[in-house]
Amino acid sequence: MAAVDLEPLIATNPATGAELGRVAATPPAQVREAVARARDAQAAWGRTPWAERQALLRRWWRLLSRDADAWAGAIRDEIGKPHVEALSGDVLPTLDALRWVVRHGAKALAPRRMGPGHQRWLLIPAGRMGYRPVGVVGIIGTWNYPLFLNAAPIAQALAAGNAVVWKPSELAPLVGQRLQEGLEEAGLPPGLVAAVQGGAEVGRALVGADIDKGFFTGGVENGRRVLAALAGRGIPAVAELSGFDPAIVLPNAPVESTARALTWASFVGAGQTCVSVKRVLVVGDPRPLADALAKHARELRVGDPARGDVDLGPLISGGARERVHARVLSAVEAGAAVAAGGEIPDGPGWFYPATVLTASDAAPETALAGIFGPVVVVRDVPDAEAAVAAANASPFGLAASVWSRDLRAARSVASRIEAGMVTVNEAVTPTMHATAPFGGTKASGFGRTHGSHGLHEFTYPQVIFTRRPGGVRPQLFPYDRLPVAKVLHLYRRLFHNP
Ligand code: NAD
């Protein structure tokens, strides 16, 4: 391991650069030990009755709820989000996700009976399908929703009877530490959940340890590295990766309310939201919408969230801001015009203004693909067909939205977009739905989180078929007692007459 990974992680406030605290990095050998301890703890936890798991998860949920405002403050300082946004976009959806698990986990995990098989001549008995825990889940998290994106899969993995070793992002180690402390305060069995802290090197150690399933949230490149490493050992994983979400605006969409909604959907989290809108495809004249969007973008107040009167905080790091600005410059080189923002402001903090670009073709979009910052590009497309083609031309497929007064037309367009989540006259917020499966397609990953789909990711279905002792069994040997013609006749006659 490189020495730099053993240096403590220094958490800084991205709005001021002030140091917030230090967290010791976990040496790779300790990552392996944490996984081994988790495996020991899982053996008992996997057999724990639901009521006991539920009680512990409820206790954890209560602790988070009790400290909701303090959590929002911690996220505000470490990530640089406005306080109300940290509360409503990170803490409250976490509480909702935990409530879902506590209230609905038992039903989602309940065993299901399967009747006797259709081919009754084989006398296949009735079965009972249950969901078994996979074992030890390795969760690698990101920083942009440092509570929600980690707590929700941790809760689901635990509810399903697994142990968890998880790595918070190196850019949010304090929130990670706090989350782990909360889990311990809830009284979970020792070693059942462990946080390991550090950067990519520690992530690689977790991926290389004796885990049974991976759950990765982050960028496409690192996600694929993790997937490749796990696949080589036959270990499955959920990959929640980047998006580049389109909004298709149909001709009769109301300009002002659509522009206002898109302003929030593009710039929430300073555009560092995986499901934020990054490209607006307007069927017809794009100017009224682009002008309104640019006007609202210019009105957004950018600054230190500690001040309170702020809509957009900083980007997470200087490197992130450089990458965003470089993409904007490339888009401009590719033909985009800047309608709002687009310049790095003077002064401390990693601020970047809400930026609206306009384009007359797809080239600037290509330059921006996968950008993670407060930038949206608007362009026109001739018709809905072309809008769908443009939306689907991207390698990403996380979320998308369609805007129109004509709901039938909007739903028809929505159903043709290649994305895991599509919204009509709405964006971003529905992806926090605690029951709806969250996840993408194509380069945006696979597997799901939230609701029963998310819960089942941490299980494998097992069917137990039971025949009463004795009784008649289909004894097929020796085969000459069972002529082929007789079998076919029986089958066609009794069970399968097409
Ligand atoms: P990142 O890929 O740089 O890092 C994500 C995590 O992976 C971090 O904890 C990092 O330490 C770890 N890591 C990096 N390389 C690794 C390796 N080789 N092996 C194991 N672990 C490794 O991403 P980021 O900057 O933290 O997050 C931003 C990205 O995440 C954006 O692209 C965004 O779109 C995406 N994202 C996706 C979702 C989603 O649910 N689909 C949610 C939030 C963010």
Query: What pLDDT, in 10s, does the model give residues 64-79?
Result: 999 999 999 999 999 9
Q: What is the mean pLDDT of residues 37-56?
A: 98
- Tell which atom from ligand 1 comes closest to the C-alpha of 141: 9
Bridge partners of residue 355, in order along the sequence: 375
Pairwise CA distance, residues 407 & 341, whole Å: 33
pTM above 0.75, yes or no: yes
**Distance from residue 240's CA to the centre of ligand 1 (Å):** 9
Is the pLDDT at 471 greater than 90? The verdict is no
- Tokens representing 186? 């809830």
Across 141-159, b (16+ Cβ under 10 Å) vs e yields: bbbbbbbbbbbbbbbbbbb
Q: How confident is the model at residue 494 (pLDDT cuts 50, 70, 90)?
A: confident
Pairwise CA distance, residues 166 & 202, whole Å: 10
Query: What pLDDT, in 10s, does the model give residues 248-297?
Result: 999 999 999 999 999 999 999 999 999 999 999 999 999 999 999 999 99
Query: What pLDDT, in 10s, does the model give residues 191-245?
Result: 999 999 999 999 999 999 999 999 999 999 999 999 999 999 999 999 999 999 9
Is the pLDDT at 4 greater than 70? The verdict is no
- With contact defined as beta carbons under 8 Å apart, do 123 and 473 qualify? yes
Q: How confident is the model at residue 492 (pLDDT cuts 50, 70, 90)?
A: confident
- With contact defined as beta carbons under 8 Å apart, do 463 and 128 qualify? yes
Give the residue, by CA position, lying nearest to ligand 1 atom 13.
200
Judged by DSSP in three states, 289 sits in helix
Q: What is the DSSP string of 1-22?
A: --GGGGSPEEEE-TTT--EEEE
Give the residue, by CA position, lying nearest to ligand 1 atom 34.
242
Q: How confident is the model at residue 17 (pLDDT cuts 50, 70, 90)?
A: very high
Query: What pLDDT, in 10s, does the model give residues 412-459?
Result: 999 999 999 999 999 999 999 999 999 999 999 999 999 999 999 999
Within a 10 A sphere around the Cβ of 3, how many other Cβ atoms? Answer: 6
**Distance from residue 223's CA to the centre of ligand 1 (Å):** 7
Query: What pLDDT, in 10s, does the model give residues 75-131?
Result: 999 999 999 999 999 999 999 999 999 999 999 999 999 987 766 667 788 899 999
Averaged pLDDT of the chain: 95
**Distance from residue 402's CA to the centre of ligand 1 (Å):** 28
Q: What are phi and psi of 466, to 5 degrees?
A: -125, 125
Confirm or reject: Cβ of 398 under 6 Å from ligand 1. Answer: yes
Confirm or reject: Cβ of 143 under 6 Å from ligand 1. Answer: yes
Q: How confident is the model at residue 3 (pLDDT cuts 50, 70, 90)?
A: very low
Nearest residue to 171 via CA among 77, 279, 270: 77
- Tell which atom from ligand 1 comes closest to the C-alpha of 440: 41
Give the residue, by CA position, lying nearest to ligand 1 atom 5.
218
What pLDDT score does 372 carry?
98
Q: Which residues contact 437 (CB under 8 A, 6 or more apart)?
A: 420, 448, 449, 450, 451, 453, 454
What pLDDT score does 5 carry?
47
Query: What pLDDT, in 10s, does the model give residues 126-178?
Result: 899 999 999 999 999 999 999 999 999 999 999 999 999 999 999 999 999 99
Confirm or reject: Cβ of 274 under 6 Å from ligand 1. Answer: yes
**Distance from residue 12's CA to the centre of ligand 1 (Å):** 19
